[in-house]
Amino acid sequence: SEERSLNFLEEIVEEDLAAGKNNGRVLTRFPPEPNGYLHIGHAKSICLNFGLAQRYGGQTNLRFDDTNPSKEETEYVDSIKEDVKWLGFNWANEFYASDYFDNLYEFAVGLIKKGLAYVDDSTAEEIASQKGTPTEPGTPNQYRSRSVEENLQLFAEMKDGKYPDGAKVLRAKIDLASPNMLMRDPLMYRIKHTHHHRTGDKWCIYPMYDFAHGESDAIEEITHSVCTLEFVSHRELYNWFIEKLDIFPSKQYEFARLNLNYTVMSKRKLLQLVEEKQVEGWDDPRMPTISGLRRRGYTPASIREFCERIGVAKRENMIDVSLLEFCIREDLNKTAWRRMAVLDPIKMVITNYPEGQTEMLFSENNPEVEGGEGGRELPFSNELWIEREDFMEEPPKKFFRLGVGLMVRLKSAYIVKCESFVKDADGHVTEIHCTYIPESKSQNDTSGIHVKGTIHWVSVPHAKTAEVRLYDRLFKVEDPSNEDGDFKDYINPNSLQVLNNVYIEPDLANAIPGKGYQFMRKGYFTVDKNPAADKLVFNRTVTLKDGWVK
Ligand code: ATP
Ligand code: MG
Ligand code: MG
């Protein structure tokens, strides 16, 4: 891709390399919590972490941040791996924070021995009230002065299951007057008698994020630990634990998370949409998930390009989803094969073309590529399906399509002239009658006639049928999480339109899953990954032009 200036993380890595830090080694990690499917925001983090390492000859670990036992499931682990691979990245190692539970326990014991951690019997409310406020220091309680021996014994008993959930916690003994509230004796461990997806029932105490994350980074000797801005205030604690434990000095850096308009990105909210059946599942093509975008017809290259274009910032902002749509349009314009499909059909009869005759016309696959990437034979006959909107009973001036007396070119075929139309008893137009100009055949046109409009068509006796799904934005407002009431009140009721009576050219019956097709004049489409056995279903990835009216 094009040359651009370095982002601030690349600058940091280059400075570190120039200073000879980490023996020239760059090791990043992508640390998803397996409590949901990955979304486009995660794609940004993936592109950033893997991209940074790739650029400097380094590597990236995939680390499942699975320290919170109740919410994690193997289904999520599998989907995350599939999505990272699909985006085009290979991790050096697949690790699980839960693999480090023994190390973390030993680290905690080490801090207790140094007098830097203590067991606290207070309730969550008591702990919160003793923490003080940003302007007033907290107050130490009676547990803070427990002896090392007592703390060691109590912590071992916590681990052995002697106490119920919430009875005790392990806290770091730092500074109850720190201006950083996170430094006021933060929790390191809580009791949770809950089954874990990997460690089973081995543990009933689980480490807090702040005690697990940096320590996992250090165990893996991660050089640059990149996270989102919410963690700026956690950095002091991240460094404190590493310093007191005297372990590998991983460094944390923060960037602005991706916010995209007309959607939500918190996994909790996405899960609600799935559980309440507002969408078909995590991979519903309207979801901002990687699996949803894939099913919708987005390509890995278009998502990587999007992440590259939004760049890496240190301040939060909202990205317009039309940039994502722009990226997939650019990609598909270059790669999608052109095909014809009539979404809202009306019949055209060519009265001077021999009935029962079939003519095969050639049409190239991709005019954007030299040689057209080959092509296919299009059957032509005296009865065609065309779009209803390409005919008007009383066409206004400058309507360069069909109305009585008007002419258009049929793509890759002939010029036709509309002579008349047929109406049913209710006054609906049911058929359009045309004559064709035999000398106007595409690529061999000697008619001398010039027309302004070209329309697509499908031969009636050769057409196949398909279901087509058109998608619009899932939400009616730019930032549904920031509106009054529930975010689900702002769901767009018209985000899915299903067309059941679509005629497609016969070659589309062989459409390749995962490949993009341009339905001429109608947008980019892909075969749905999950159609009912006897039915061909196409999802519209994106329209040809940005048709969104704000
Ligand atoms: P959620 O709030 O939706 O649960 P999370 O941040 O807790 O998201 P994780 O699975 O912990 O989700 O995220 C894995 C990595 O992806 C983290 O490093 C996180 O910072 C990053 N990430 C998550 N969401 C975004 C986003 N919108 N933009 C950029 N990075 C993100
Ligand atoms: Mg989360
Ligand atoms: Mg997280």
What ranges do the domains of the chain cover? 8-255, 267-337+466-542, 346-456
Residue 176: is its pLDDT beyond 50? Answer: yes
Of all ligands present, the nearest one to the C-alpha of 255 is 1
Calpha distance 144→98 (Å, rounded): 28
Query: Which CATH code of 3.40.50.300, 2.120.10.30, 2.40.240.10, 2.40.50.140 fits the domain covering 346-456?
Result: 2.40.240.10
The residues, any chain, with a CB within 8 Å of residue 357's CB and separated by 6 or more, are 381, 382
Rounded-to-integer distance, Cα 369 and Cα 366, Å: 6
Distance 42 CA to ligand 1 centre (A): 6
Q: Is 317 in the pocket of ligand 1 (CB under 6 A)?
A: no
Please compute, for residue 321, the number of CA atoms within 13 A of its CA located in the half-sphere on the CB side: 23
Section 86-100 average pLDDT: 98
Distance 153 CA to ligand 2 centre (A): 33
User: Is 41 touching ligand 1 by the criterion CB < 6 Å?
Assistant: yes
Q: Is 438 annotated as a binding residue?
A: no
- Report whether residue 227 contacts ligand 1, using a CB cutoff of 6 Å: yes
Residue 463's CB: how many other CB atoms inside 10 A?
23
Q: How confident is the model at residue 534 (pLDDT cuts 50, 70, 90)?
A: confident
Number of helical H runs and strand E runs in the chain = 12, 27
98 lines ligand 1 (CB under 6 A): no
Nearest-CA residue for ligand 1 atom 10 is 32
Print the SS3 string covering 300-346: HHHHHHHHHHHCCCCCCEEECHHHHHHHHHHHHHHHCEEECEECCEE
Residue closest via CA to ligand 1's atom 3 equals 266
As annotated, the active-site residues are 33, 257, 267
Do residues 440 and 415 touch, judged by C-beta distance below 8 A? yes
pLDDT tens digits, one per residue of 496-507: 999 999 999 999
Ligand 1 within 6 A of CB of 34: no
pLDDT tens for each residue of 36-83: 999 999 999 999 999 999 999 999 999 999 999 877 688 999 999 999
Please say whether the beta carbons of 82 and 56 come within 8 A.
no
Per the annotation, does 43 bind a ligand?
yes
Report CA(200)–ligand 1 centroid distance (Å): 25
* Ligand 1 atom nearest residue 33's Cα: 10
The interface pTM score, or ipTM, of the predicted complex is: 0.96
Mean pLDDT of 262-283: 97
Strands 337-339 and 517-519: parallel
228 has binding-site annotation: yes
Please write the tens of the pLDDT for every residue from 463-485: 999 999 999 999 999 999 999 99
CATH architecture of 267-337+466-542: Orthogonal Bundle (1.10)
- CB of 266 within 6 A of ligand 1: the answer is yes
Rounded mean pLDDT of 87-92?
98
Instruction: Report the share of the chain in percent with pLDDT over 70.
Output: 98
| Nearest ligand, measured from the Cα of 231 | 1
pLDDT at position 375: 94
Q: Is the dihedral of CA 433, 434, 435, 439 positive or negative?
A: negative
Q: Do 267-337+466-542 and 346-456 share a fold? A: no
Residue range 8-255, CATH number: 3.40.50.620
Q: Is 447 annotated as belonging to a binding site?
A: no
| Pairing of β 537-542 and β 464-471 | parallel
Q: List CB-based neighbours of ion ligand 3 within 5 Å.
A: 33
CA nearest to 342, candidates 423, 432, 426, 404: 432
- What pLDDT is attached to residue 550? 38
